[in-house]
Amino acid sequence: MEESSIIRQLAQLRTLSKASAIRKHVELFGYEPRQTRNLPALRAHLAFRIQELYYGGISEQTRQKMKELADKDPMANLCRTGKKPRTPVLGKRYVREWDGVRHEVILLEDGRAEYKGRYFRSLTAVADYITGTHISGYAFFNIPRRKNDGE
């Protein structure tokens, strides 16, 4: 693939409809995007991936260094809460009845979720797909909080 092809692909992203952007995401990542309401963000995500595939991504050494730095910086982990973590079981089948329909999802070893032969990035992506609105996959599939030692 030539660099001019990459530039052309990046330019075409500006004109993609939401449906086309979702299809492009599946083509480039192998799963549907978690979030589809923000089309400019989805286009930016696609642009990053196109360039990553052509120019190469972050090296494993750099990833490790970033993780080490984040582990030392409490501000880098603000998303952590005092709540007990939830731990879905890889390889497990999660079942939920919703709107009178039984939905079964298998959480694969690589962390993706399989639902009706389609692959999603997470249980939340499946829950969003089923309900048509954003909802936590953990809450939707009733995955309990993990018990901490000593409780």
Query: How many whole angstroms separate alpha carbon 135 and alpha carbon 126?
Result: 9
CA dist., res. 88 & res. 118, Å (int): 19
Q: Which domain holds residue 25?
A: 1-80
pTM of this structure: 0.47
**Where does a domain end: 62, 80, 98?**
80
Quote the radius of gyration of the chain (alpha carbons, Å). 19
Residues 27 and 92 in one domain: no
Residue 147 pLDDT greater than 70, yes or no: no
Looking at per-residue confidence, does 87 or 65 come out higher? 65
88 and 136 housed in the same domain: yes
Same domain, 56 and 29: yes
State the average pLDDT over residues 25-49.
Answer: 88
pLDDT at 111 over 80: no
Q: With the C-alpha atoms ordered 99, 143, 34, 38, is the resulting torsion angle positive or negative?
A: positive
Residue 96 and residue 142 in contact, taking contact as beta carbons nearer than 8 Å: yes
Of 18, 45, 80, the domain-final residue: 80
**H-only helix segments in 14-147:** 18-29, 39-55, 60-72, 123-131, 137-140
Mean pLDDT of the chain: 83
**Region 4-14 average pLDDT:** 92
Pick the residue with more confidence: 46 or 84? 46
What pLDDT does residue 16 have?
A: 94
Whether residue 76 has pLDDT greater than 50: yes
Count of the separate structural domains present in the chain? 2
Q: Answer whether residue 151 shows pLDDT above 70.
A: no
Of the candidates 151, 131, 128, 147, which has an alpha carbon nearest to the alpha carbon of residue 34?
A: 128
